[in-house]
Amino acid sequence: MKTFKSVFAAVALAVLSACAINPESSSTAPMPTAAPNDMIFASYGAAENLVRAPQGIVDHDKPILIASLVNINNLETSSALGRLVAEQMSSRLVTMGYSVVELKLRTSFLIKEGKGEFILSRDVRDISRSRGAQAVIAGTYAVGAKTVYVNVRLIRATDSKILAAHDYTLPLDENMVFLLGTRFRDVS
């Protein structure tokens, strides 16, 4: 019996030690407990899926840029929803120990006041090089009759190759309509 306890204790210690050493096995902040259609829960999950995808492996020490998500029908516009999803993804990556560059503190050509941070395909390499970024997270959203469809991508900065992608939906409830803005409410 004493041998069994010793072996069990040794195995338990080894498993706990391995978890503590491997940064991919845990993060500094637990995933929030929420309903699956909760926006924060969905944004955090999307961020985790992008950096943990087999091709999406990124270095914790090299910066990642995160752009505001844009309306798929007009890639020059965003909304509170698009900006908030980007902010939530940024929060999750920082709590996981990734280096994320805050674009709003910059005075560069990336930011359109009141609209968000946009990444245009021709600018990705230049912007990333000037910030020392290894990757960019960008995405779109589309509004359906009862659902908002979201797509986010992890894009390698050096050649614009998509390393990982994640799709999810959010319910088009009163909160989403508000976050999408008055122009959306006028149209619907």
On whether residue 15 sits in a domain, the answer given is no
- Please say if the pLDDT value at position 184 is more than 50: yes
What CATH number is attached to the domain comprising 92? 3.40.50.10610
Where is average pLDDT lowest: 22-31, 44-53, 69-78, 159-168?
Answer: 22-31
* pLDDT given at position 2: 52
On whether residue 5 sits in a domain, the answer given is no
More confident call, 117 vs 173: 173
* pLDDT given at position 128: 61
On whether residue 105 sits in a domain, the answer given is yes
Q: How many whole angstroms separate alpha carbon 9 and alpha carbon 121?
A: 54
On whether residue 163 sits in a domain, the answer given is yes
More confident call, 28 vs 39: 39
Average pLDDT, the chain: 74
Check: CB of residue 140 under 8 Å from CB of residue 131. Answer: no
* pLDDT given at position 124: 53
More confident call, 180 vs 119: 180
Question: Residue 79 — pLDDT band, cuts 50, 70, 90?
Answer: very high
What is the domain extent for residue 36? 32-187
On whether residue 27 sits in a domain, the answer given is no
On whether residue 8 sits in a domain, the answer given is no
Question: Residue 99 — pLDDT band, cuts 50, 70, 90?
Answer: very high
* pLDDT given at position 71: 92
Question: Residue 9 — pLDDT band, cuts 50, 70, 90?
Answer: very low
Question: Residue 126 — pLDDT band, cuts 50, 70, 90?
Answer: low
Section 155-178 average pLDDT = 91
The number of folded domains in the chain is 1
On whether residue 124 sits in a domain, the answer given is yes
Section 169-186 average pLDDT = 81
On whether residue 16 sits in a domain, the answer given is no
Q: Which residues, other chains included, contact 147 with Cβ-Cβ below 8 Å and sequence gap of 6+?
A: 169, 170, 171, 172
